[in-house]
Structure 1
């Protein structure tokens, strides 16, 4: 059964998008209808999107955190550029960023660590 709803996503600029949920049969039918349309830029973009439907991306594991395209293992220890080691505390800041601790610097969040001491390299036993 087809459903549609408005969602608000925050990026650099906030925009409202329409999310359309279709079964495969419904998507096939819509692809046919759009393919027969007059070929405006909008219908062409919709048709192209329907032609290359992507599989959903798996949700990240609870024990990882992605920052600037890098996934960090929250159970691991990381060394900064000076060789000091950082570990995740299991706590998160109000923005969702995991808290780290270093014996020399105390508690902070991952963005601050990377800006001041990055990059971080995973320490392997």
Structure 2
């Protein structure tokens, strides 16, 4: 069965990606339909992607996020979080709590996202 998933990930910019999961039969049927309406550039690009699927780089998992430790993030309640890395683990601490570094009273960024997310990067 076909599924589509919209997901926002924070990298150096916020971007929304769509991962379309199709069975081989569904992909073949979609290719045939797209051939009939291949007038627009977007349709031609999708058709090209279906004809040449990228097997060497799988779609990222839905729970994979990249955080910029030099940025601040705001949660669903409007609280601002600052990030830092401790032994390769990204940790977060509320800015209103005073930034004492990621060791003192901090949560993993996953804990913050689970409890108070989604987290949105604060842009100047």
Structure with more contact order per residue of length (Cα contacts < 8 Å, sep ≥ 6): 2
Return the TM-score normalized by structure 1.
Answer: 0.44
More strand as a share of residues: 1
